[in-house]
Amino acid sequence: MENENLTAMAHECANNFSLILKDIMDERKLNQLTLSAILGISQSQIHHWLNGKSLPGYLSLELLIKKLNVKAEELFY
């Protein structure tokens, strides 16, 4: 039961992050290819984030914060 709750929370977090990242990208008129070039990571990784399949690791999160000039709190709610 506890593992199911953790899994559900992880999915919710990934989905929330996805929506926030999409909003940021829309506001700044960025597509996946452009964002991947800005961050220096693969477009497929961006795709996974946008589809709620994964969350950025620490280094990728650090890049997002720095390159997009956002706070960590803005990326998660």
Helix segments in the chain, DSSP class H: 2-27, 32-39, 43-50, 58-68, 72-75
* Rounded distance between C-alpha atoms, residue 61 and residue 8, angstroms: 21
Whole-model pTM: value is: 0.87
Task: Give the chain's domains with CATH numbers.
Answer: 2-75 (1.10.260.40)
The pLDDT score that the predictor gives to residue 5 is 81
Q: pLDDT by residue (tens digit) across 36-69?
A: 999 999 999 999 999 999 999 999 999 999 999 9
φ/ψ of residue 24, rounded to 5: -60, -45
* Distance from the Cα of residue 63 to its chain's centroid: 11
Residue 33, token pair as written in the block: 């290819």
CA angle 6, 35, 50 (to 5 degrees): 30
